[in-house]
A = this chain, B = another copy of it.
Amino acid sequence: MREKINNIIFGHDTKGGRLFDIILLWVILISVILVIFESIPSLHLRFFTTFYYIEWAVTILFSIEYILRIWSTKTPLRYIFSFWGFIDLLSILPTYMELINFGFHYLLAIRIFRLLRVFRILRLIKFNREAQKLLLALRGSGHKIGVFLMAVISIMVLLGTLMYVIEGGENGFTSIPQSIYWAIVTVTTVGFGDIVPQTVLGKFLSSIAMILGYAIIAVPTGIITVELAKNKSEDKVCEDCKNDNPDNANFCNQCGLKF
């Protein structure tokens, strides 16, 4: 019995497991859309009770699922303190918190806390195997992308400081953090236009920054393309030493075994 439920809840290969996944997916989607729509004042007033009932239905469903997960797994503590266990708890806690409101009536805090339910959307990624495969394929390039981002952020810090010196507070560059924010908006080619350079030197430096931002996007793209292309090659695994060889190999390049 316990193992059967474990198979349905944690597994994805049995018929029951797949059905469970699909139902859960729809419940997550509905609950996220609910949180989004609740924030629209006109809808909030009109469908207050509807929203209230759906919210409690979803929370009770998620609570049952959460309890079943703890009960059916062999390592309940590891599940509770795992990242996904935390997300699962975050999906139900806010609704219960509203009931308690013990002593302190920090309405705003509760209202904000309730919005955390939108993190339920992360559960969608958990159930998507393709997403996890993609993340795995990209893990190899993580270090290189990190180095690239470090270099880009260094450029943004330098650029922000220079623009703070050149433009100054009267043109909107009121402090270095503000100028760095502008540099990020510019180098990433977002370009809100809330702060723009006014001086000739500022415009010249911005031009260099924009061309730089436009061109260096090629670097992470190259890194990830090469990484994904590498994962693409379906290697010929040596039966003897389990080494990966390219698919056109006649001999294993580690132990010399003839294929």
Contacts of A145 in B (CB 8 A): 215
Contacts of A252 in B (CB 8 A): 251, 253
Q: Which of B39, B157, B224, B251 contacts A36 (CB 8 A)?
A: B157
CA distance A126 to B251 in the complex (A): 42
* Contact A225 to B217, CB < 8 A, known contacts A184-B207, A210-B188, A211-B149: no
A237-259 toward B: CB 8 Å interface, digit per residue (1/0)? 00001011111111111111010
Residue of B nearest to A232 (CB): B226
Cβ–Cβ contact B221 & A218, under 8 A: yes
A220 contacts the other chain (CB 8 A): yes
A60 contacts the other chain (CB 8 A): no
A6 contacts the other chain (CB 8 A): no
The number of chain A residues touching the other chain, given as a range, is 35 or more
* Contact A250 to B255, CB < 8 A, known contacts A131-B151, A221-B218, A221-B222: yes
User: Which of A149, A207, A253, A254 has the largest number of chain B CB atoms within 10 A?
Assistant: A253
CB-CB contacts below 8 Å: A162-206 with B:
164-165, 175-178, 180-181, 184-194, 196, 200, 203-204, 206
Q: Return A215 CB to nearest CB of chain B, in Å.
A: 5
CA distance A211 to B181 in the complex (A): 11
Cβ–Cβ contact A211 & B152, under 8 A: yes
Cβ–Cβ contact B210 & A121, under 8 A: no
A13 contacts the other chain (CB 8 A): no
CA distance A206 to B200 in the complex (A): 23
A84 contacts the other chain (CB 8 A): no
CA distance A40 to B200 in the complex (A): 12
Contacts of A45 in B (CB 8 A): none
Cβ–Cβ contact A192 & B193, under 8 A: yes
A contact residues vs B (CB 8 Å cutoff): 32, 35-41, 112, 115, 118-119, 121-122, 124-125, 128, 130-131, 134, 138, 143-145, 147-154, 157-158, 161, 164-165, 175-178, 180-181, 184-194, 196, 200, 203-204, 206-207, 210-211, 213-215, 217-230, 232, 241, 243-256, 258
